[in-house]
Structure 1
């Protein structure tokens, strides 16, 4: 084991040849540890001494070995913010659910300047567990958290090498599939997908749902997908000339792509809806005043955050259950989708 990191209960369990739950019972002096054979207890205690394991003194001093603090860590700066900000409903949901569960919150900051393992230590250990969020993540930090088996739940689907990361995510694939089905039901046969430039798990989920929806409608051969850059009147004119009657947009950190598309349509005198239908695959992260309510679906941000806290507390309490959850995205009727004109 590397001397660069502190030993964990997993390390103790491996050295002693027991389960992590047995190690936890011994270290926390749980009432259930009376069922542990003396020889097993001795192996755990010997491993603790050999590895130089030092438990969280603050947490050990409290009943149950917990301090009822949940961490909240973002890989990006989240302040300042207001009710229209991307992070506002997420933070509100975490705070509300944590309070209902009887936990206080500890906010870890400086996500863009230093990682979770700054100064040779793991910054989150003062908390019992942590909710993580952010678009621009540090994969190596997530992998270390999984290896150390520190209780975390990510808001959003994320994959890491060598382990399973708990997460709560919006079901973008199913929601996008439903949007495409609706467009096909309105007579649209040539669709265009405007994708964000950054590759991400949510983007791949939306793209999968787009292809599935086209396949359902027998339009799989028309699964055109282009990056949402340079949305101009000339680009839109070219797409229309190719027979495109509907465009679905993968949202970015703001609604600039949808606004640019609407501006281009105005320049060409193209009605939305009418000659062109437009659907947004998730409400814009920043709810700036807009001239219309885009059709598509909404992202249940507050519900995602609350579910992440629930999943984390259930894990801390040792309750069996899923390690990942996908929540449905409610449809938004909006005013930007219509039938194909005759």
Structure 2
């Protein structure tokens, strides 16, 4: 089924044609500056009426940054991000947003919650609360997809930190390149002789998980390793990652290496700490293990796990920069930017054990 063609956004030229004035006049009226105040009132009203009829009125405030209106950017979080420790998971994102906003010469407005209930909503009370700002950076895992779609339909300028897809439109975002980072970890394990690499994916089927799985499959293909669906398992609770289960995979499936998605909390690191303390499975002597991302930054690092690290501060800063670019355009197109992750060698992967039986 061919998706419906996206309606073309109205431009200042369309408004000029509708109002019977020059495009320069439209620009002066919409800019709202001192020069625009010299336009005759009937002409100004005709331009604003034409803009509203063509659906351009919703864009006026959002495009005003370059013309000196509010110079105010918003940051909306879908869950609580205030850290109890400055090494909190979200701290680098907040730092990146704040630093780039200041560098761009704007003020920052943090949106926390529109209601006393735990579930946050952009449209609390039926209106878009973000419109206090000229545009907004969005952050969080537990997103409300219907609200993202509404923002796209409303043509309110937003940039999400992380890849997010929505129905009925295209959302601007800045994301970590999970695909390439995961493929690179598979390539490194293949270089060390591993052929039976288990991927433990998150239960939720969000974009980051799908990207990691795509990277896993790409890495296997590029290494000339045949894919085996039995080596892709969902890990509903990281606490389920026990020595017994890992021994079952190594003995029963011939697994020599494991890739696992970390969590924002400490459930995974606790499970790994318990397993390491039991000394039933040694990493990497018995099995190599790598994390597809960073462990929580507040977790005491008992060992240096092999992993890739998300460029969180850079992602957030790039999101602000992209947002400002969108605001400076009269008819902006959605922007998608991916940022490379950094490989952290760690000490939990090594050569594949010799003589490991296959399945």
Once residues 188 and 92 of structure 2 are traced to their aligned partners in structure 1, the CA distance between those partners, rounded to angstroms, is 28
Aligned to 1:161: 167
- Aligned counterpart in structure 1 of residue 133 of structure 2, from 121, 127, 133: 127
Residue of structure 2 aligned with 1:207, choices 185, 197, 213: 213
In structure 2, what is the equivalent of residue 45 of structure 1? 48
User: For this pair of structures, how many residues does the alignment match?
Assistant: 329
TM-score by length of 1: 0.84
SS of corresponding position for 1:100: helix
Distance in 1 of aligned mates of 2:284 and 2:174 = 34
User: Which of 259, 277, 283 in structure 2 is aligned with 1:248?
Assistant: 259
Distance between the aligned counterparts of 2:192 and 2:150, measured in 1?
48
Cα drift, residue 269 of structure 1: 2.6
Q: How much has 1:219 moved relative to structure 2?
A: 1.8
Detail structure 1 runs of 4+ shifted over 4 Å in the superposition.
10-19, 22-25, 29-33, 39-43, 48-63, 319-322
Q: In the TM superposition, what are the counterparts of 1:1-342 in structure 2 within 5 Å?
A: 26-29=29-32, 44-47=47-50, 64=67, 66-110=69-113, 112-223=118-229, 224-228=231-235, 229=237, 230-241=240-251, 242-264=253-275, 266-267=277-278, 269-318=280-329, 323-342=335-354
Q: CA deviation at 1:26?
A: 3.5
CA distance in 2, matches of 1:52, 1:326: 31
Change (3 A) 1:211 1:24: farther
Shift in Å at residue 341 of structure 1? 2.9
Greater Cα shift, 112-121 or 40-49: 40-49
Which range moves more in the overlay, 170-179 or 70-79? Answer: 70-79
Q: CA RMSD in A?
A: 3.7
- Give the Cα separation in 2 of the matches to 1:56 and 1:328: 32
Distance in 1, Cα, partners of 2:64 & 2:178: 43
Q: Matched residues in 1 for 2:10 and 2:188: separation?
A: 52
Distance 1:53 1:250, change over 3 A: closer
CA contact (8 A) 1:98 1:309 kept: yes
- Change in Cα spacing, 1:219 to 1:200, as seen in structure 2 (3 Å) is same
- Deviation (angstroms), 1:81: 3.3
1:331 Cα deviation from its structure 2 partner: 0.3
Partner of 1:6: none
Secondary structure of the corresponding residue to residue 211 of structure 1: helix
Question: 2:95 is paired with a residue of what secondary structure?
Answer: helix
TM-score in terms of structure 2 length: 0.80
Q: What is the CA-CA distance between 1:240 and the residue it aligns to?
A: 1.1
- Distance change (3 Å), C-alpha of 1:269 and 1:98: same
Deviation at 1:293, TM superposition (A): 1.0
Shift of 1:322: 7.0
Residues 1:292 and 1:212: Cα distance change in structure 2 (over 3 Å): same
Shift of 1:14: 12
CA distance in 2, matches of 1:127, 1:94: 15
Distance 1:181 1:213 in 2: 6
Structure 1 gaps, min length 5? 1-9, 34-38
State the SS of the aligned residue for 2:210.
helix
SS at match of 2:86: coil
